[in-house]
Amino acid sequence: MAEKTLAGVTIEIDDNGYMTNFDQWNKEVANALAKENGIEELTQKHWDVIEYIQKGVKDGVNLSIRRIGKSGVVDIKTFYELFPDGPLKKATLIAGVPKPSGCV
């Protein structure tokens, strides 16, 4: 378990850089994580996706790109545009939730 300080908050992260304590997450931390991963600014559309993901994790939903594409929040093409180079991995990392383990 490693720690790092982002936006004035010390966060615990796993080997892949995913936060392990959601209580430490806030919007400033999310902004900083986004910047680290090549997203300069989180738009409203990004926040909509992040909120959907956080709610999904809370409800125990098995998150997949397919499910997010059918959520009505964002279509698959836009999801890839919002979070380039691995949308599900990046979006979950920024949302402060565990990395999803699905293959589809």
Partner 1 sequence: MRIGKKMSEKIKKVSVICAKGSLEDVYAALVMTNGARMEGIEANLFFTFFGLDAITKKKMNKLHTATVGNPAMAMPGGLPFPTLLGSLPGVEAGVSAMMRKEMDKLDIPPVEEFLDMIHAAGGKIYGCKLAVDMFKLKEEDMYDDIEGVITIGEFYEKAAGGQIIFT
Task: Give the interface with partner 1 as residue ranges (CB under 8 A).
Answer: 2, 4, 13, 15-17, 36-37, 62, 64-67, 69, 75-77, 80, 84-90, 93, 102-104
Judging by beta carbons within 10 Å of its beta carbon (0-12, 13-18, 19+), is residue 26 exposed, middle or buried?
Answer: middle
Q: Which positions are catalytic?
A: 103
Shortest distance in whole angstroms from residue 104 CB to partner 1 = 5
The nearer residue to partner 1, 15 or 23, going by C-beta atoms, is 15
The least distance separating partner 1 from the CB of residue 52, rounded to whole angstroms, comes to 16
Q: Which of residues 27 and 76 has its CB atom nearest to partner 1 in the complex?
A: 76
- Distance between CA atoms of 64 and 4, rounded to whole angstroms? 28
Q: How far is CA 87 from its chain centroid? A: 9
For 48, counting Cβ atoms within 10 Å of its Cβ (0-12 exposed, 13-18 middle, 19+ buried), the class is middle
In the complex, the smallest distance separating the C-beta of residue 82 from partner 1, rounded to whole angstroms, is 13
